[in-house]
Structure 1
Amino acid sequence: MCSHKRCRVAEQHQDQGTATRPEEDAIAGSVKDAQIKICPPHTGFIGGLCYICGKNQDEEDFTGVPFGYIAEGLRLSNSEMDRLSGSEVKNLLRERKLVLILDLDHTLINSTRLHDISAAEMDLGIQSAASKNDPDRSLFTLQGMCMLTKLRPFVRKFLEEASNMFEMYIYTMGFKAYAIEIAKLLDPGNVYFDSKVISNSDCTQQHQKGLDVVPGADSLAVVLDDTEYVWQKHKENLILMERYHYFAASCRHSGQSLSELMQDERESDGALATILDVLKRIHTIFFDLGVGTALSSRDVRPVIKRMRQEVLQGCKLVFSRVFPSDCRPQHQIMWKMAEQLGAVCCSEVDPSVTHVVAVHAGTEKARWAVKHKKFLLHPRWIEACNYRWHRQPEEDFPVPGLKEDKGKEKVAEIAHL
């Protein structure tokens, strides 16, 4: 719900559907007129009691959606949820805003437990750096949780600019107390999120995130998350984020951490800066006044899909020994990802093929690519294009084992499309 217009849900209903009846005053014993809601149907319950008539939820046949992040113990009926969603959509469109759902861990931040700090990180003084009283620092100690948290570069500017285009929610599978502490770090002035912090206790399905707890979100929501699996019902809303691994404990199986290397993502062209540009394009296209359809009938999901398909449009890919031989390549994640980015994927080479994707240069198709001056590159190229929403330079993703004959052109000099 729009934060500056947010009020307690119960207060929104106090004047709706009322009738007058005599009610005994418990103190004075007098009879007075009291405005009460005619129930059932019950629009919602707080703490197990209908917030209109006071009936106990256990005595009623009531199903609804939990909204504990708005008010503790709040559940709304499906019909009331539909009413609120319709109202929220009107408010958002009037303000020319969409909804932005933000994951925390590996998307906006990276956290680690104090006892998981590596020896190298200890030698670098990472824990003491988190304790410095510097308003511009990005490394923090979570008091009482024995954790360190690193903000992803550019996150503060990202939130500031995104807030002009989106009504923003935090949505994490972490615990409520942790989510609230991180929200305080990201939004110390409580400008962006207010009470819109959704945690694992607010999910309506185990191990899954859903837009059913966000009013009016389905057609207006853009989701930023590093994990696709938790959004099974809303993949069309999802922009998959490249994981932010700052601490050693976060990348135990992928070499040294950014902290140990004393490196970090660049603010100017890191993941959040890149995605902010994507969000700006989505917002511009959605609210394009030149489109003939009414705003109320527009849907952000086709916009996301169309923009994604532009990334590798015009590319025709062949995969060479990238997938297990006993699996259908059309069912593999990399194949599907390339198609979602607009590429045409096929199993055999022909003159129209533009790229051969391989993990080693010794395969027959890889040698064909070199002979016919086609792009020969590693599968990581597709992943990079997917995360960056832009076709990446092919020469940055060479295939191991590629040995060029003397006098041949380098792969980087192969003619572009």
Structure 2
Amino acid sequence: MFEMYIYTMGDRAYALEMAKLLDPENQYFQTRIISRDDCPNQDRKGLDVLQVPEKLGLVLDDTEAIWQSNKDNLIVMDRYFYFSSGCREFGYKNCKSLAQLKRDEDEFDGALATILRVLTRVHHDFFYINPQYVSVRDVRQVLKTNKRQVLRDCKIVFSAVFPRNFVAANHRLWKIAEQLGATCSTELDSSVTHVVSTVGGTEKSLWAVQESKFLVNPKWIEAALYLWRRQLEDKFPVAKCTTRV
């Protein structure tokens, strides 16, 4: 279905070792292995190194910032922490690795299974919907269209999420929500479906409860980003606050 590459900022020896682990029979990657030794720019990645046309390439990575030139090609992955050393390395506090939990990610609903479904859907839409236009189609637009279905019909107001005097529309969560198809607003009205808040005692949080709107914490948006579907709101409760904030 896809021609796959390994692209790492590790050295060549590391890249080859990862290829052996991921593809011991050399069926999937063959010689398509890119390491930092192949990269003229050590602080960014780009499809130009792979000589892949931007309108045909998709990227899976857990670091968005390094793909400045190809953000529209990127499918952001949640970081995979099997060993606790990974949590410490990236500065995650109160993080339990999968090894500590004595399990691996879910075979059907984990990150890899989810992304396989996304890739399959994008592949289908690219090649089989109005196939007469395949030659002029851009996979970035196909990906964007699919992504905007995740939080379609959601209208979100944020509370106690952004720093004071911060331009809300510039915040990462606001941008992610819009990429996922939600409408974001700073004003409360009857069309609002969700209030995303870090605490339960804010005016907007109390309004959400009073008006029977969904009240969720910011991880609800991040989970939708990584899992490519709207999450059950009751799994992302907001911490209760006994006093008005």
Distance across 2 between alignment mates of 1:249 and 1:266: 21
Partner of 1:71: none
Partner of 1:316: 155
Partner of 2:194: 355
Distance across 2 between alignment mates of 1:291 and 1:184: 37
Gap runs ≥5 in structure 1:
1-164, 404-417
Match of 1:323, as an amino acid? F
2:69 match: secondary structure: coil
Distance across 2 between alignment mates of 1:292 and 1:195: 32
Match of 1:240, as an amino acid? V
Distance across 1 between alignment mates of 2:113 and 2:7: 20
C-alpha deviation, 1:291, in angstroms: 4.4
Partner of 1:270: 110
| Alignment map for 1:67-146 (pairs within 5 Å) | none
Distance across 1 between alignment mates of 2:213 and 2:200: 13
Match of 2:194, as an amino acid? H
Match of 1:332, as an amino acid? H
The structure that has the greater radius of gyration is 1
Question: Out of 382, 393, 400, which is 2:239 matched to?
Answer: 400
Contact 2:9 2:42 in 1 (8 A): no
Distance across 2 between alignment mates of 1:280 and 1:219: 17
Contact 1:204 1:210 in 2 (8 A): no
C-alpha deviation, 1:327, in angstroms: 1.0
Q: For each residue in 1:361-406, what CA deviation from the matched residue of structure 2 results, as whole angstroms up to 9, or x when unmatched?
A: 1000000000000000000000000001111111110001168xxx
| Alignment map for 1:216-295 (pairs within 5 Å) | 216-252=52-88, 253-255=92-94, 256-293=96-133, 295=134
Taking only aligned residues, the RMSD between alpha carbons, in angstroms, comes to 1.3
Partner of 1:15: none
Question: Out of 142, 153, 173, which is 1:303 matched to?
Answer: 142
Any runs of at least 4 consecutive aligned residues in structure 1 with deviations exceeding 4 A, and if so which?
none
1:377 to 1:402, Cα distance in 2 relative to 1, 3 A: farther
Match of 2:201, as an amino acid? G
Partner of 1:33: none
Distance across 2 between alignment mates of 1:336 and 1:394: 20
| Alignment map for 1:329-368 (pairs within 5 Å) | 329-368=168-207
Distance across 1 between alignment mates of 2:174 and 2:158: 8
Match of 2:100, as an amino acid? E
Match of 1:325, as an amino acid? R
Distance across 2 between alignment mates of 1:216 and 1:251: 33
Question: Out of 155, 159, 166, which is 1:327 matched to?
Answer: 166
2:59 match: secondary structure: strand
Query: So what's the TM-score if we normalise by structure 2?
Result: 0.94
Contact 2:157 2:192 in 1 (8 A): yes
Aligned length: 238
Match of 2:82, as an amino acid? Y
Distance across 2 between alignment mates of 1:172 and 1:343: 33
Distance across 2 between alignment mates of 1:383 and 1:257: 19
Contact 2:12 2:36 in 1 (8 A): yes
Query: So what's the TM-score if we normalise by structure 1?
Result: 0.56
Match of 1:177, as an amino acid? A
Contact 2:57 2:73 in 1 (8 A): yes
Distance across 1 between alignment mates of 2:130 and 2:69: 31
Partner of 1:209: 45
Distance across 2 between alignment mates of 1:210 and 1:200: 12
C-alpha deviation, 1:204, in angstroms: 2.5
Q: For each residue in 1:317-358, what CA deviation from the matched residue of structure 2 results, as whole angstroms up to 9, or x when unmatched?
A: 000010001211111100000010011101110111010000
Partner of 2:2: 166
Question: What fraction of aligned residue pairs are identical, expressed as a percent?
Answer: 55
Q: For each residue in 1:59-109, what CA deviation from the matched residue of structure 2 results, as whole angstroms up to 9, or x when unmatched?
A: xxxxxxxxxxxxxxxxxxxxxxxxxxxxxxxxxxxxxxxxxxxxxxxxxxx
Partner of 2:24: 188
Contact 1:203 1:210 in 2 (8 A): no
| Alignment map for 1:14-93 (pairs within 5 Å) | none
Contact 2:114 2:227 in 1 (8 A): yes
Question: Out of 200, 223, 246, which is 2:36 matched to?
Answer: 200
Distance across 2 between alignment mates of 1:279 and 1:402: 42
Contact 1:286 1:303 in 2 (8 A): yes
C-alpha deviation, 1:195, in angstroms: 0.9
Q: Which structure shows the bigger proportion of residues in strand conformation?
A: 1
C-alpha deviation, 1:292, in angstroms: 4.0
